[in-house]
Amino acid sequence: MSTKVRTTKQVEAEHALNAWLAVVKTYNMCDSQLARLLANEGYTIAKYEVVIRLKREPDQTQQALADQCFQAKSGISMLLKVLEEDGWVLRLPDAQDARVKRLRLSPIGHTHAQRMLIVQNRVITAMAEGMSKAQLLELSQTMDQVSERLMRLE
Amino acid sequence: MSTKVRTTKQVEAEHALNAWLAVVKTYNMCDSQLARLLANEGYTIAKYEVVIRLKREPDQTQQALADQCFQAKSGISMLLKVLEEDGWVLRLPDAQDARVKRLRLSPIGHTHAQRMLIVQNRVITAMAEGMSKAQLLELSQTMDQVSERLMRLE
DNA sequence: TAAGATTGAACGCTCAATCTTT
DNA sequence: AAAGATTGAGCGTTCAATCTTA
């Protein structure tokens, strides 16, 4: 059995795995709770992601938004079509590059963004309860470093 | 503007939000890297999740597996049908409860699990590079606490 | 040629309904 | 009734191909 002999490397990898499994569980948990609370207000996670990100950073291209959301650009394209038809999002032509569409929230979009933020804050606040500012900063740093290493992988 | 006046609470929430965004980014990053490396070997993330979890904890029910994978039980049912047809997984009757199917990897399934583990270890090792055992333990604890609070939300 | 965006086909997942067993 | 598992409909996402502009 593999339980008989374990190198130091394997033991360390196990700690790393456990840590990562905890992250995955927490992520999924957050996702499902957020989805549930957003659904109460008539929103979906997909729309939430787009709207929140456009509020934080307007005038993005669709590509950039797709990258941020870790979604295929085709999916973003279709989602934005709906959001545009519903009057939440504007797809403005770029002055320099005619291929590009610059994305912005409409006033209605901003109103929805505000309501989504209330839900988001409920979840974020619950997650951070009992964590110090220092802990939160360290978590950010740790995750940024992990992201960095993942990006360079292979 | 909301940037003019900020309560302490809002500032703290921002640290929490930044931390969480870093976690989300890292999770997505890991997911896509893992998907890429698994695809090189002919595997999908969905199959990987099921196989790895069955290796770690055999004789689970489909419900339990679906919960662990944060997937609808119907999806798991369909996926297991494929895995059973391919000879990776056995769905054995439960002695006490005829409704239940107990899940196990076949020898072939174990072989694939081993190959998947090699990929997993590459990713996990890269992520944990430079992190101490203490850091990994703290990360696990932090995430477990956050999970706990999320579960109690609402 | 390459990059941003769109389209349509295919796939996977979810939701609701159903069947079986408890 | 309630719980485990399955089925089928519907939706959302991805992948590949296409169009337009650089």
CB distance from B114 to chain A under 8 Å?
A: no
Closest nucleotide to B100's CA, by C1' atom?
Answer: D4
pLDDT tens for A44-72 read: 999 999 999 999 999 999 999 999 999 99
* Cβ contact A147–B29 (<8 Å): yes
* pLDDT value, residue A154: 85
How far is C-alpha A145 from the chain's CA centre?
17
pLDDT score for A12: 72
Q: What element of type H or E holds A104?
A: strand A101-105
Average pLDDT of the residues of chain A: 95
A31 Cβ under 8 Å from any chain B Cβ: yes
pLDDT higher than 70, residue A93 = yes
Which comes out higher in pLDDT, residue B49 or B8? B49
How far is Cα B30 from Cα B37, in angstroms, rounded to an integer?
11
B128-136: Cβ within 8 A, 24+ apart: B128/A12, B128/A13, B128/A15, B128/A16, B128/A19, B129/A149, B130/A145, B130/A149, B131/A16, B131/A142, B133/A12, B133/A15, B135/A142, B136/A15, B136/A16, B136/A18, B136/A19
Per-residue pLDDT tens digits for B79-92: 999 999 999 999 99
pLDDT tens sequence across B55-113: 999 999 999 999 999 999 999 999 999 999 999 999 999 999 999 999 999 999 999 99
Using the beta-carbon criterion (under 8 Å), do A27 and B23 form an inter-chain contact?
yes
pLDDT exceeds cutoff 60 at B3:
no
Report chain B's C-alpha Rg in angstroms.
Answer: 20
Residue A131 to residue B142, Cβ atoms within 8 A: yes
Q: Above 80 in pLDDT, residue B126?
A: yes
Q: Are strands A89-93 and A101-105 parallel, antiparallel or unpaired?
A: antiparallel
Residue B5 has pLDDT above 80, yes or no: no
**Alpha-helix runs per DSSP H in chain A:** 8-40, 45-56, 62-68, 73-85, 107-128, 133-151
Mention every residue, 6+ apart, whose C-beta is less than 8 A from residue A33: A123, B150, B153, B154
Residue A113 has pLDDT above 90, yes or no: yes
**What are the φ/ψ torsions at residue A89 (nearest 5 degrees)?**
-130, 145
